[in-house]
Amino acid sequence: MSCVRRQTKLSKSEELLHHASNQKMIQTNAKLLGMEGDPDLQFLLQGGDLLKVLSPSWKKTRFLKLQEDCKTIWRESKKTFKSNQTFPVDSIAAVRLGRQSEGLKKNTEEQVECRCFTIVFKGRRKNLDLIASSEEEAGSWVRGLQKLISSLNNLSADQGKLHSWIFSCLRKADKNKDSKLSQQEMKNFLQLLNIGLDDDYAEMLFKKCDKSGSGYLAGAEIEHFYDLLTHREEIDVIYGEYAKTTGFMNAGNLLEFLTKEQREKLTLADAQKIIEKYEPDEQAKGKSLLSKDGFLMYLHDPEAMVFNLDHKQVYQDMQQPLNHYFINSSHNTYLMEDQLKGPSSTEAYVRALLKGCRCVELDCWDGSDNEPVIYHGYTLTSKILFKDAIKAIKEYAFKKSDYPVILSLENHCSVEQQSVMAQHMSSILGSALVTTPLGDGMPTNFPSPEELKGKFLIKGKRLNKLEASFAEAAEEADNTDVTEEEESSNEADDKPAEKTSKKKKLKLAKDLSDMVIYCKSVHFNSFEDARKNQSFYEMSSFKEGKAVKLAEESAANAYIRHNVEKLSRIYPAGSRTDSSNYNPVPLWNAGCQIVALNFQTACTELDINQGRFLVNGMGGYVLKPAYMRDAATEFDPITLTRGDWLQHKTLHVMVISGQQLPKVNQKKSSIVDPLVKVQIYGVPADVAEKETSAVANNGFNPSWNENFQFDVYVPELALVRFLIEDHDSTSDNEFIGQYTLPFNSLKMGYRHVPLLNRNGDKLPSAGLFVHVMVLDAK
């Protein structure tokens, strides 16, 4: 077998047995994926040589193939001590055909366009740029991988998926490939599953399954062992309570469970449809009965999980003015890592946009050959061409969301290169770029996200007021020097090495200035000054410290009223050289719309941001509550005076169990000691955290059964975060997984919680099982 070329040579009979076992495994997994007989899957399983591209001169042949588990790609490396020769399919974010990546555009010629493709990984892992031997082969690789990714994503976390995962662990543990498990191999298997057992218990479990007394587990004995591992007592109890028809649930029993426990508003016909969809046993389905396996499969389906799927679609009013929404926004979008010496890349824009970001930042500086570049000024970060960034933004802006993208320009260019910027944006973005107000005459308010679908807005400096362009004799600005009304009192402090005066003259090109319509950058003096002198389209940016201070001032309500009329952008302090993030919640509480975070830095704050924008089709725009859109609002998140915002709820959460938690340390002997934290983010009165005890040495099926209660006063602004950590008594706990969602998107009853890794991507098999109840407080 090509994927184990360096293995010990097997005898002919062992080879035949091994081949038959592999074919059976392929057949089982292809069936689970719904890809039986698929020619593209067969192509991936056969594998082939590809040219890996790192530079114009570094192009080397690598053999890639899909392994028999249909979940792992094996890659042959020529490096003698190279140990990491595989990568899981679920680590792939996308597969792009053609010279779409920055690396392929830079390192290959146009004539190989049809043979190129890129494997884009989740998280910070670098892209894999490849060239196939023909256009047909490139197409087969791309189609096959895309189908496989889609099938794995659609495979619900049911018994079939669990069986596939456990089956692959069994094969890894079966070192001598004899389809039997010795007691030592069983212990290795348990460690792969993230279970640590003491020797006595492991021996007892082994003997319980070794019915034949042979000292090995084989066939039905392994199946019995599997049943013991996957048995979930909590599901037995819940199912047993409602399975009143000869040990099964009929449609009436299921409806009783759904209405009484899950607080679902469903009918008997809906319950019948659930049985038809999820019951795996044809005989039971024929009698309209739901078995325990079918019940568990339903509970694992996204429609039955903790997040209300009605909120996954666009369900909010998208006809409100743009400033009435929270907008998913990034800072230093071009960076892949830190802001002192990290690489800049067009891929960073692609990744941010595919995560739902609707406001991206471009730091623009003069480049050679009259071509503006983007990088973090006065630092060692690498540079990318402005035009390449605009091309990448154009291509990926509306793949995740149709709603408008704001291009936030931090302009340090000469007038000449500003004109080049304007030309590039005009030619690349074309009619999608908003260069005149929508409608006739001078606007008095922002257009809505709905009206701006598929459009780009420029945020930047402007030579004059927008009103001037509507005057009968619009006067040309007599001087193209304008005061640099920077984002904060001095935005230069975002660039630690830059020495500038508080005010300086900025030469501004008219053609670039004229592109700024709805987002003109102006300096903030005071709320009173803004109310008297600023037009609705004139917006200020605030460094995080200044913004938090304004949000906490005694007249805290003034910031909220300001944001009813104007847009506000918040950005991280320049002292965050590691590109860390601040807590966005207090700024959202103050009504700030564009709360920009470093998308390249995995952290709690980015988890919260992802949770905030999980709803409304993940379109990057979330409607602010009505009391934050009212010019006369009395809402103050700190003092919480009486008003419509006060909707006091009591949240009851029972943390029941966990499933297939990943290791945090890949050492074979390392097993996690998981604990769960339930955290509430929102107005200060709602902020809270409670945690379970730690379960020792069990990441496979830990059980807690611990109850928590929270008071939530302003549910419309609250977020709930489920965090799982590996307990450590001598140092900080280590992150295992988390899931954040808006309080009002919680579903009640017995619910599975999917878990995301540090990069915000789904952990394929891991989950948390909880019971949630939300009641009106007495």
Give the residue numbers of the binding site for substrate: 52-79, 459, 461, 541, 569
Q: How far is CA 473 from CA 168, 439, 444, 509, 598, in A?
A: 76, 21, 20, 21, 44
Q: Can you say whether the dihedral through the CA atoms of 745, 778, 259, 770 is positive or negative?
A: positive
In the residue annotation, 562 being an active-site residue is answered as: no
Contact between 358 and 401 (Cβ < 8 Å): yes
Annotated binding site: 52-79, 332, 361, 363, 410, 459, 461, 541, 569, 671, 673, 697, 726, 728
Distance CA 573, CA 583 (A): 12
Residue 365 and residue 413 in contact, taking contact as beta carbons nearer than 8 Å: yes
Tell me the CB-side half-sphere exposure of residue 499, using CA atoms within 13 A.
0
Question: By three-state DSSP, how is residue 540 classified?
Answer: strand
Distance of CA 405 to CAs 321, 353, 381, 528, Å? 15, 9, 25, 30
Alpha-carbon span 369 to 349, nearest angstrom:
24
Least Cα distance to 59 among 110, 4, 129, 163 occurs for: 129
Cα–Cα nearest to 599, from 617, 613, 615, 586: 613
Helix (H) and strand (E) counts for the chain? 22, 32
Residue 725's H or E segment, with its range, is strand 719-726
Cross-strand pairs, 750: 771
For the beta carbon of residue 387, count every other beta carbon within 10 angstroms: 19
| Residue entry with tokens 């889609």 | 150
Inter-helix orientation angle 544-552/557-565, to 10°? 120
Binding residues for Ca(2+), as ranges, are 332, 361, 363, 410, 671, 673, 697, 726, 728
Among residues 311, 376, 412, 562, the one annotated as catalytic is 376
String of b and e for 430-449 (b: at least 16 CB within 10 Å)?
Answer: eeebbbebeeeeebeebbbb
Identified catalytic residue from 300, 311, 324, 331: 331
| Torsion from C-alpha of 207, 210, 213, 214, nearest 10 degrees | -120
For residue 762 the two structure tokens come to 């789904």
> Which letter does DSSP use for residue 344 in this model?
B
Looking at the chain, how many residues does it have? 778
652: annotated active-site residue = no
**Could you report how far apart the first and last alpha carbons of the chain are, in Å?**
67
State the catalytic residues. Answer: 331, 376
